Amino acid sequence: MVNLSNIKHNALRFTIGTAVDEVVRSYKKNPEKVTENLLKLNNIAKRYFSDMYNPEAFDNAERLIQETDSKWYKFFEKALNEIHPNIIRQMTLNLGYEAAFYGNKKLRESREKYECPVPWVILMDPTSACNLKCTGCWAAEYGYKMNLDYETLSKIVREGRELGTYFYMFTGGEPLVRKADILRLAEEYNDCAFNIFTNGTLIDEEFCKEVQRLGNIVFSISVEGEEEVNDQRRGDGVYQKVMHAFDLMKEYGLLYGTSICYTSKNYKSVTSDEFLDTLIDKGVRYNWYFHYMPVGNSASTDLLLDADERAYMIKRVREIRAMEGGKPIFCLDFQNDGEYVGGCIAGGRNYFHINANGDVEPCVFIHYSNVNIKDCSIVEALQSPIFQAFRKHQPFNHNHLRPCPMLENPDIIQELVHETNAHSTDLVSPESVEHLTNKCYHYAKDWSSVSEEIWKNSKKRDRAYYNYDDSRIEETKIR
């Protein structure tokens, strides 16, 4: 039987792919046509997906396309010049069309059908093994002998794709210890997008060639500042290996950014003009900033920022990515950008994490679970007690600058763990939830008053909170 839905889906994918090709081709041969072709691409999206997003989003995109002297238009032109056409095409189709539009529609249907959160992105650890041992890295707590076999990795993507999830991230451990399996997975599911969080030291020329051929893999490279600061945490010589990886990826026209854990020791270094200029020169397009989390029995609280240091990060990241001024690099701050996404996005609301043992965790930083992916489906995992508890309690704070049920609201994670009888997923050194939260209380108290003042002046403070079912707006819970 002919599946008309699939025919329509494939036809629209072809149309968008052709439009992307025109944008790239016009940049190379007829630059004055770039704006015209970008507007055509935006109009296609507006025509087919205006029922899913506020029409204002497409109008804003149109305005940005027409501002050809702006920082972000020039940022886009530079990307067109430096990124390989196959990467541009595949990532626009897979991360744009499949994940943001077609997949998003399927997600909403799945959430209603199964009455549980279904995420936009799934994080998973192919392995717990790593060739480095970085100070403050929670992954080291897992040990080095756990792996998800290829069949399990494939099952996760296959089931997630059926639900509408077309974006997958690999964490670890060091994911590139499983380099061959990642390439195999990206080829098997060539309509999905894959992002690898990696220390970068295992990236070589042959691997870059394969990534260029596939087109649907991007990278977030761990780097913690300039050479001295970086190597103090990651080991002697690591910084130079990362710089070499940047050079290789730039040569092959790959798409990559950074994954930066900021701490009390490096927060100014990783946001300095000098550091950012180095990254931009190396072809880095984006920075993912992650607040240090004191996860694990041996985790140090000395690396936690104080309230003034965190306030500095909020202000500085917004300066860097501002429409006017700043730097031509896009920055996201996982902890401090909660105001743009309605607080915590974990627990399946927009993402969840599967560790190398198969334990399904609500967050990459919260290592408690009731369920293992080797024994259940993704839907069954999302219907498990701790995920349902997350859904019930989100948002965890009216102030989305205090989004986390652990770091800023430590009583809540204790409540969730005890309420659901979740167990520690750290098989090497299990950490009680009381031990974890005792490291957060002082921090949470200090940040509370400072963040409230910042939140009062935020333009996003009155933004409606959307829970797992986007068709239903829930009132923010006041805590």
Average of pLDDT values for 267-273? Answer: 95
pLDDT band at 478 (very low <50, low <70, confident <90, very high): very low
List the one residue out of 442, 341, 64 whose CA is nearest residue 351.
341
Q: What is the pLDDT of residue 477?
A: 40
What are 450-460's pLDDT values in tens digits?
999 999 887 66
What are 172-194's pLDDT values in tens digits?
889 999 999 999 999 999 999 99
- Please list the alpha-helical segments (H only) found in 299-432: 307-320, 378-382, 385-393, 410-420
Q: What is the pLDDT of residue 475?
A: 39
- Please list the alpha-helical segments (H only) found in 138-287: 150-163, 179-188, 205-214, 227-234, 238-251, 273-281
pLDDT band at 469 (very low <50, low <70, confident <90, very high): very low
Q: Is 299 helix (H, G, I), strand (E, B) or coil?
A: coil
Residue 112 amino acid letter: E
State CA 151 to chain mean position distance: 24
Q: What is the pLDDT of residue 144?
A: 59
- Please list the alpha-helical segments (H only) found in 54-149: 55-66, 71-82, 85-91, 103-114
Q: Is 224 helix (H, G, I), strand (E, B) or coil?
A: coil
Average of pLDDT values for 387-396? Answer: 94
Per-residue DSSP letter, 395: S
Give me the percent of the chain exceeding a pLDDT of 70: 90
Average of pLDDT values for 297-312? Answer: 94
List the one residue out of 222, 221, 226, 333 whose CA is nearest residue 276.
226
pLDDT of 476 strictly over 50: no
Q: What token pair was written down for 296?
A: 């694990």
Report how far residue 396's alpha carbon sits from residue 477's, in angstroms, rounded to the nearest whole number: 7
List the one residue out of 68, 79, 88, 81 whose CA is nearest residue 19.
88
Q: Strand pairing of 465-466 and 473-474?
A: antiparallel
Range with the lowest mean pLDDT among 224-228, 236-240, 260-264, 404-408? 224-228
Residue 358 makes CB contacts below 8 A (sequence gap 6+) with 148, 152, 372, 373, 374, 375
Q: What token pair was written down for 246?
A: 């940047």
Q: Is 241 helix (H, G, I), strand (E, B) or coil?
A: helix
What are 57-83's pLDDT values in tens digits?
888 899 989 999 999 999 999 999 999
List the one residue out of 345, 416, 343 whose CA is nearest residue 386.
416
Give me the percent of the chain exceeding a pLDDT of 90: 71
pLDDT of 340 strictly over 90: no
Q: What token pair was written down for 226?
A: 């300039």
pLDDT of 170 strictly over 70: yes
pLDDT band at 471 (very low <50, low <70, confident <90, very high): very low
pLDDT of 3 strictly over 80: no
Task: Please report the sign of the dihedral spanned by the C-alpha atoms of residue 395, residue 398, residue 404, residue 409.
Answer: negative
List the one residue out of 175, 130, 120 whose CA is nearest residue 153.
175
Average pLDDT, the chain: 89
Q: Is 376 helix (H, G, I), strand (E, B) or coil?
A: coil
pLDDT of 359 strictly over 50: yes
Q: Are 65 and 35 in contact (CB under 8 A)?
A: yes
pLDDT of 161 strictly over 60: yes
Q: What are phi and psi of 251, to 5 degrees?
A: -60, -35
pLDDT band at 336 (very low <50, low <70, confident <90, very high): very high
Sheet of strand 217-222: strand arrangement: 330-333, 286-291, 256-262, 217-222, 193-198, 167-170, 121-124, 351-354, 360-361
C-alpha separations of 118 from 5, 110, 167 in Å: 22, 7, 12
What are 416-448's pLDDT values in tens digits?
999 999 999 987 889 999 999 999 999 999 999
Higher pLDDT: 173 or 478? It is: 173
Q: What is the pLDDT of residue 171?
A: 93
Average of pLDDT values for 351-378? Answer: 96
Q: Is 242 helix (H, G, I), strand (E, B) or coil?
A: helix
What are 108-132's pLDDT values in tens digits?
999 999 999 999 999 999 998 876 6
Q: What is the pLDDT of residue 450?
A: 95
What are 195-252's pLDDT values in tens digits?
999 999 899 999 999 999 999 999 999 998 776 666 566 667 788 899 999 999 999 9
Report how far residue 477's alpha carbon sits from residue 479's, in angstroms, rounded to the nearest whole number: 6
Higher pLDDT: 342 or 125? It is: 125
Average of pLDDT values for 141-153? Answer: 81
Report how far residue 424's alpha carbon sits from residue 422's, in angstroms, rounded to the nearest whole number: 7
Q: What is the pLDDT of residue 339?
A: 86
Q: Are 419 and 389 in contact (CB under 8 A)?
A: yes
Report how far residue 360's alpha carbon sits from residue 316's, in angstroms, rounded to the nearest whole number: 34
Q: Are 382 and 317 in contact (CB under 8 A)?
A: no
Report how far residue 104's alpha carbon sits from residue 47's, in angstroms, rounded to the nearest whole number: 16
Which residues lie across from 118 on neighbouring strands?
A: none
Report how far residue 347's alpha carbon sits from residue 349's, in angstroms, rounded to the nearest whole number: 6
Q: Are 221 and 199 in contact (CB under 8 A)?
A: yes
Q: What is the pLDDT of residue 51?
A: 80
pLDDT of 4 strictly over 90: no
pLDDT band at 52 (very low <50, low <70, confident <90, very high): confident
